[in-house]
Amino acid sequence: MQLSNTMSTSDFDEYKVNHLFLLVGENPLPNYVAARLLLKNSGCVHLVYTTRTKKWADLLQKELEKLSISVKRIELGASWNGYDIEKKIKEKISPKGKLVLEGRIGLNYTGGTKVMAVHAYQALLELELVNPVFSYLDSTKLQMCIDDNEQRTTKTIPAALALSPPPKLEEILRLHNLSWQVDNPPIPRSQLPIAAVEFAKQFMHGQSGMWKKWCDAVFKSAKNASGYWLKDNELPQPLRFKLSVDISREEKVKVPDEIKKILRETLQCASDIELDIQLLKDRWNFNDLSQVFQWLNGGWLEDYVLWQVEEISKKKPAYSIHDMKMSLHIQDPAQPRQNDQFEFDVAFLRGYQLFAISCTTTYKHDYCKEKLFEAYQRAQQLGGDEARVALVCCYDNDTNYLKQELSFVVDDRKIEVFGRSDLEPVRFARKLDNWIYRNI
């Protein structure tokens, strides 16, 4: 597969301006990209926003100023119409008919509403400025579109990889006043990929039911009443669990022999009869015991997926994948609470484009559908229309059924579903590669 040549910020030089007007909507990421690509050194960004979008203007200004970009503001208030926009922009540029902004002026009308875009555009046209730059960011092709009003044409410049350095996941979160938990940061690399691959193979062959049943039975003593893992000093001792336990007089659950072999030989933390959680933590350098429980209870799937992403990144450097992480527990810093607001199981960036992957070991149709839709909503919230989403699960039927059920709200090119049969490593790698490729 061949990728088209990418562009850098130098390809935008002839379109850079001294004063860039940005219309602020509820996703400040496109404005952030436009400001970094279209503003000259020592230029100034002018944020046009309403009372409803003031929060996003504040966050955008904060991030731009960290890059030493000068920011000025045009507030429209709560009650406004299109002509208010025209009036305020004209007053900013040319009060009483006298041009006060020196240098070239541009408008990027990606954000805001259609009304804002139309009237802001009209304001600059009526001022008859010398060589203004009108632009918008095309989310479908990840291109910056530059209008040439004289030739009545639009020039497109690839923008996906144009930012240097590219933004990080943490910056994109800050644009939405979000962060990951300070005491539970994301994991930046796969932890136990060899064992995770072996778990994936066993789940592909149908070992999920008995293993999940065993985990539910023996790990319940490691959780509090709310279902969260206990802290290390709260856990009962010793941390050894029998691999075969009675859950009632009539029923016994045991670890399948194939998974028992992984625990014993690959992870080296079990005998033929018991699993030593403390030994697993110490041998493989987990931060705390809750991470161990989480890994065994399904976190291995995140580990497996992140490892696959890492392998694709190594084999396909042209994809320019960066900032790969798993277990991103996201919260609003202004509203701290014990549990996170939402979680991205695995996430990575290509330039400013967000790829988010939700992982679950369930096979149930309704739950898989819910997980996919929730991941799509969260990814859109952070990454806008450019974001791409995948679900990795143990769904047994044709995964296209899940995609089709969401097709009325989601463009199925933006989403992918990996089912039980896709967990086989070679097949997974091929499908993951195809998903990334068709979206870049």
Express each pLDDT in 83-111 by its tens digit.
888 999 999 999 877 888 999 999 999 99
Instruction: With residue 368 as reference, give the H or E element that holds it.
Output: helix 365-383
Of all helices (H) and strands (E), which one includes residue 281?
helix 277-284
- Collapsing DSSP states into helix, strand and coil, what is residue 189? coil
Query: What pLDDT was estimated at residue 104?
Result: 95
> Using DSSP, how many helices (H) and how many strands (E) does the chain show?
14, 17
**pLDDT surpasses 90 at 78:** no
Q: What residues pair up with 20 in beta bridges, in sequence order?
A: 45, 106
Contact 105, 132 (CB under 8 A): yes
Q: How confident is the model at residue 4 (pLDDT cuts 50, 70, 90)?
A: very low
- Percent pLDDT > 90 in the chain is 76
DSSP conformation letters of 375-436: HHHHHHHHHGGG-EEEEE----S-THHHHHHTTTTS-TTSEEEE-GGGGSHHHHHHHHHHHH
Q: Is the pLDDT of residue 117 over 90?
A: yes
> What are the C-alpha distances in Å from 112 to residues 31, 108, 147, 220, 257?
10, 10, 18, 49, 58
pLDDT confidence of 340, banded at 50, 70, 90?
Answer: low
For residue 399, pLDDT over 70 is answered with: yes
Q: What is the mean pLDDT of residues 8-22?
A: 89
User: Which pLDDT does position 249 carry in this prediction?
Assistant: 75
The alpha carbon of 354 is separated from its chain's Cα centroid by a whole number of angstroms, namely 4
- Quick: pLDDT tens for 145-174: 999 877 788 999 999 999 999 999 999 999
Q: How confident is the model at residue 412 (pLDDT cuts 50, 70, 90)?
A: confident
Which pLDDT score is estimated for 187?
A: 94
Cα three-residue angle 218-282-296, rounded to 5 degrees:
35
202: left (phi over 0), alpha (psi -120 to 50) or beta: alpha
What is the chain's alpha carbon radius of gyration, rounded to the nearest angstrom?
Answer: 26
Average pLDDT over residues 181-194: 91
How, if at all, do strands 388-392 and 143-148 pair? unpaired
Domains (range + CATH), the chain: 9-164 (3.40.50.10770), 193-294 (no CATH), 298-438 (3.40.1350.10)
* CA distances to 6, 19, 152, 160, 204 from 146, in Å: 17, 16, 11, 15, 49
Can you tell me the mean pLDDT for 207-220?
89
Residue 346 has pLDDT above 70, yes or no: yes
User: Percentage of the chain with pLDDT > 70?
Assistant: 96
Minimum mean pLDDT range among 34-38, 148-152, 246-250, 333-337? 333-337
Give the list of residues 6+ apart from residue 103 with CB closer than 8 angstroms, or none.
Answer: 17, 18, 19, 40, 43
Q: What is the pTM of this model?
A: 0.92
Write the DSSP string, 85-100: HHHHHHHHH-GGG---
Is pLDDT above 50 for 7? no
Cβ(117)–Cβ(111) under 8 Å?
no
pLDDT band at 5 (very low <50, low <70, confident <90, very high): very low
Mean pLDDT of 278-285: 94
Distance separating alpha carbons of residues 121 and 128, to the nearest angstrom:
11
Non-local (6+) Cβ contacts of 20 within 8 A are 34, 35, 38, 39, 43, 44, 45, 46, 105, 106, 107, 108
Within 8 A by CB and 6+ apart from 235, the residues are 222, 289
Count of beta carbons in the 10 Å neighbourhood of residue 289 = 21
Is the distance from CB of 186 to CB of 356 less than 8 angstroms?
A: no
Mean pLDDT over each residue of the chain, to the nearest integer: 91
Q: Work out the burial of residue 131: count CB atoms within 10 Å of its CB; fewer than 13 is exposed, 13-18 middle, 19 or more buried.
A: exposed
Distance in angstroms (rounded) separating the CA atoms of residues 226 and 247:
21
- What pLDDT, on the 0 to 100 scale, is given for residue 339? 58
The Cα 291–Cα 197 span in angstroms is 18
Assign 336 a pLDDT band (cuts: 50, 70, 90).
low
Q: Which residues are bridge partners to 404 per DSSP?
A: none
